[in-house]
Chains A and B, each alone.
Chain A
Amino acid sequence: MQLSREEEDALDGKYGDALAVAYRILLAIGNAMDADRLVPVRWAHISGVNYNTIGDAGLAFLERISMDAVANNIKAKVTSTLNPMGYDPVKGYDDDRFVERQERIRKAYEAMGIIGSYTCIPYEVFPIPARGEHVSFAESNAAIYANSMLGLVTNKESALSALASALTGKAPYSALRVEEARTAHTMIDVKHDIKDEVDAALLGYFAGKVNEQCISFRFRSGLVEGSPIGVDGRARINAKALCSALGTSGSAGMFIINDVNSATHDDAKYRRRIEYTSRDAMMVKDELSDEDDGNAIVFGSPQLGLNELGMLANMLKGKRFKKRCLLFCARCVYEEAKRIGYISPIERAGAEVYSDCCSCLTPLISRDEVDSVITNSVKAAYYLKNWNRVGVCLKSMREIVRDECYDV
C-alpha cells in the first residue's frame, strides 16, 4: 500500500504512539485486503466499548492509546461514535469492579473526542451522510445496514480498524470500498415467506453462512415496492433484523435486493444460486432456538428504534408481561419515545427499559438468574446461547406479546 510522506511519518511515530498504532492497523489491513492507498472517511463508528468483551487487556490498550493521544494533541479527525457499553449508567449495576472498569473505558474513548453515543444503531440516531460517502463502521449490523439500505460505503470494520479510522480519518481502499466489489455473485432465491422480523433474521443467519462479502436476495414478491425488506415501517424492522443476523453468522458486509421487475434485472449474472425454503428456515431456527419457553423476555439486539418502541407500546395497551422483560434501546431514542408517550405503556406492562447497553454480551443476563430467554432477535439468540450459555426460545414480537402477557 502506498503511503504519503505524512502517513509514513505518522507510522514511524513522529506524532506519537497512538497515531503510529492507528497507521500500523490500517497498514496490516491494507496489506491483507490488497489496498493500494488510504481514502478519507466521513464517520467512524467504534465497537469494543463493553468491558465484558474487551476485558482488562482491552482497557489497558485503550488507556495507553488515549493517554498518548491526549499528550500529543491527537483527537478524532472525523465524527466518531461508540457502540453500547456493558450497563446502563443511569440504572447502575451491582458490581463495583465492573462499573469502575467500564467507566475507565468510557473516559479513555471520550478523551479522544469520540462521542459517547453507546448505541449499535447509529443509523437511527445520527444524520446520514449523502449516498456514496465512505464511512468506517465496526458493529456488523450497522455496516451492513449502511451499505445495503443507505448507499453509504464501508467495510465490515473491526473495533480496531474503526478506532484507527477515527484517529486518522482514513481507511484502506479495499473490498466493499471498491465499486466493482459491490456486486453479488451468489443469489439466494427466497421461497419462504418473510412475514416478520424473525423470518428476516433467520434468512440473514442462513445467508451469512454462505461466507461471501456481498449477497443478493430475490424475494417471491419480486418487487422492491412491497418488499419485506426496506427503510420504512415493518420493512425497516425486518431490514434491521436481517442485517444483524447476517453480521452474526458470517463475513458478509452487504446485500442487494434482486428486483425481478427492474430494467437491469438479469439472473444469468449470478455464478451461484441457492434456494432458501421453509425447510432451511426451520433448520436455522432449530439451531438457534432450543427451548419452547423461557423465564425472561429480551427485546433489542440491535437496540430498538423509535418505530419498534411505538409498535410495542401499541401492542401492550391494556396488557402486562407475565415474566421479567428486559428491553434495550438507544438513550436518545428512549428520551424521544418518552416524550411521545411510548415508554409509559411499555413500563406499565412491566418491562425494564435499558439504555446505553444491549442484550448482546451484557452481564445483566446471566445463567445464575435465568435458564432460558424468549427473544425476537437472532443475534441475541446466538450470543445468549453461545456466550451467556442460556437456553433460547425465538418468537416474533407479536407472538411474544400474544403468549407472554395477560390482560389488565
Chain B
Amino acid sequence: MRCKGIVKGYGEGYAIATAQPINLLSIDSNGIVNDSAHILNGKSIAGRVLIFPNAIGSSVGAYRLYAAKVNSKAPNAVVCSKADIITASACAISNIPLVECHEFDMLMELCSKRDVIATVDATNALITLRMEEMR
C-alpha cells in the first residue's frame, strides 16, 4: 500500500488499529493506553505498528510517546490517516517511522479481521501487510 512518508525509517510489528483519535497523554511509559473513554484502554502499543487517525487533546502528548520510546515501549512504527503536529513532533524526536495513509478505511478493515503483521517503510513510502506468524 502506498503512503506518505513523514518521519523516515523502517519498522515492523503486529498491527494495533483504531478509528478513534488518541490523546497521547494517556500513554504511559510502559506503552499502555490509559483512557477509560478509549477503545484501546488498557492495551499496549509497545513493539506494535500503531494505526490511528490523529492525536487529539493535550499538546504535551508528544512527550509521552517519547518517554515510551526511551523505555523501549514505543510502537515500532506509526500510521495516521491525517498526521498532526503532536504525532509528527513526537515521532521526530523519538525516531519512530511515521507515515500517513490515505486508504485508511481499507487499512482498518484489513487489520481488524485477524492478526496482521505490518511493515512500514517510511523512507520509501510503503506499507506492507502480512497475515502470518512473525518469526
A268 contacts the other chain (Cβ, under 8 Å)? no
Q: How far is the CB of B97 from chain A (nearest CB, A)?
A: 11
Task: Provide the B55-76 mask, 1 if CB < 8 A to any CB of A, else 0.
Answer: 1111111111011011100000
Contact A61 B66 (CB under 8 A): yes
Contact B60 A140 (CB under 8 A): no
Contact B59 A162 (CB under 8 A): yes
Task: Provide the B71-104 mask, 1 if CB < 8 A to any CB of A, else 0.
Answer: 1000000000001111111111100001010000
Interface of B is mostly: mixed
Contact A58 B92 (CB under 8 A): no
Contact A251 B63 (CB under 8 A): no
A139 contacts the other chain (Cβ, under 8 Å)? yes
Given contacts A55-B29, A158-B62, contact A28 B21 (CB under 8 A): no
Contact B67 A156 (CB under 8 A): no
Partner of A57, one of B37, B61, B67, B87: B67
Contact A159 B71 (CB under 8 A): no
Work out how many contacts link A and B, with CB atoms closer than 8 A.
Answer: 134
Given contacts A32-B100, A57-B29, contact A250 B66 (CB under 8 A): no
- Chain A contact-residue range equals 35 or more
Q: How far is the CB of B53 from chain A (nearest CB, A)?
A: 8
A261 contacts the other chain (Cβ, under 8 Å)? no
- Residue from A24, A28, A251, A386 whose CB has the most chain B CB atoms within 10 Å: A28
Chain B residues 4 to 34 lying within 8 A of chain A, measured CB to CB, are: 4-7, 21, 25-26, 29, 34
A53 contacts the other chain (Cβ, under 8 Å)? yes
Given contacts A247-B57, A249-B57, contact A160 B25 (CB under 8 A): no
Chain A residues 185 to 242 lying within 8 A of chain B, measured CB to CB, are: 208, 211
CB neighbours (8 Å) of B59 from chain A are 47-48, 138-140, 143, 156-159, 162
Q: Which B residues are within 8 Å of any A CB, using their own CB?
A: 4-7, 21, 25-26, 29, 34-37, 53-64, 66-67, 69-71, 83-93, 98, 100
Which 3 A-B pairs have CB atoms at the shortest separation, nearest pair first? Answer: A28-B92, A57-B67, A138-B59
